[in-house]
């Protein structure tokens, strides 16, 4: 029994340590909450009530901030720019390494043929979306990137389901190539489904609601 209690304590410590490494505030809160709950149980089982009390407070604090994250009303706005935008170049250069982690073969060469949109969240340029439309009303996504502090899926949900932007442009289907498992998981979370295109390549598609 003592062995399993020690394992529980180590698990709690690891969860708290991992939470402090998260760049996303949402992930930090969720993992820290899991660590605090584990520490609470550990403290209760070994009779260390100061540990239990401290982690009870931490649990309440985390729940409070998670509630604020999920219920806060935020302002979203789409800002279309052209490929010659100086800010676009600065943004791509600044986040180059981060973008390559998710889309390693992105060429960092936006064209005048591309649709380029910054997604503003409370006036912060938190997301960048680049793609190109074809004559069949389909849209190929080349880049869908969100900066680390805003990766809670709200930007994707707004862009794909609430903005109405693509429908206004006459676009009925979005297509994106999953570049790794992290990217594929994001696309699945956004409602994309995996298909095989005419060239035999794996592609994820999202048919937009009318």
pLDDT given for residue 59 in this prediction: 96
Closest residue by Cα to residue 38 from 46, 66, 65: 46
Q: Residue 198 pLDDT > 80, yes or no? A: no
Per residue in 52-90, pLDDT (tens digit) is: 999 999 999 999 999 988 887 789 999 999 999 999 999
CATH topology of domain 76-207: Aminopeptidase (3.40.630)
Percent of the chain with pLDDT strictly greater than 70:
98
pLDDT given for residue 108 in this prediction: 92
Judge contact between 76 and 158, C-beta under 8 A: yes
Per residue in 147-182, pLDDT (tens digit) is: 988 888 889 999 999 899 998 888 889 999 888 888
Per residue in 102-154, pLDDT (tens digit) is: 888 888 989 999 999 999 999 999 999 999 988 888 899 999 999 988 888 88
Per DSSP, the residues of 10-23 read: HHHHHHHHHHTT-S
Kind of pairing between the strands at 173-176 and 193-196 = unpaired
User: Where does 19-65 show beta strands of DSSP type E?
Assistant: none
Tokens 């399993």 map to which residue?
4
């Amino acid at each position: 029994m003592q062995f399993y209690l020690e394992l529980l304590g180590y698990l709690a410590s690891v969860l708290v340590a991992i939470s402090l490494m998260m760049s996303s505030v949402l992930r930090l809160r969720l993992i820290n909450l899991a660590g605090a709950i584990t520490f609470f149980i550990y403290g209760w089982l070994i009779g260390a009530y100061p540990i239990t009390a401290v982690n009870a407070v931490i649990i309440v604090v985390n729940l409070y901030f998670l509630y604020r994250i999920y219920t806060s009303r935020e302002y979203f706005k789409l800002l279309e720019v052209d490929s010659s935008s100086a800010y676009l170049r600065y943004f791509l250069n600044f986040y180059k390494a981060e973008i390559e982690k998710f889309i390693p073969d992105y060429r960092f060469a936006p064209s005048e043929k591309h649709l380029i949109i910054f997604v503003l969240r409370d006036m912060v340029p938190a997301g960048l979306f680049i793609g190109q439309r074809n004559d069949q009303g389909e849209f190929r996504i080349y880049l869908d990137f969100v900066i680390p502090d805003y990766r809670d899926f709200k930007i994707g949900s707004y862009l794909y389901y609430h903005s109405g932007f693509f429908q206004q442009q006459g676009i009925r289907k979005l297509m994106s190539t999953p570049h790794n498992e992290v990217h594929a998981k994001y696309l699945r979370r956004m409602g994309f489904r995996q298909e095989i295109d005419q060239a035999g390549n794996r592609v994820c598609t999202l048919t937009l609601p009318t």
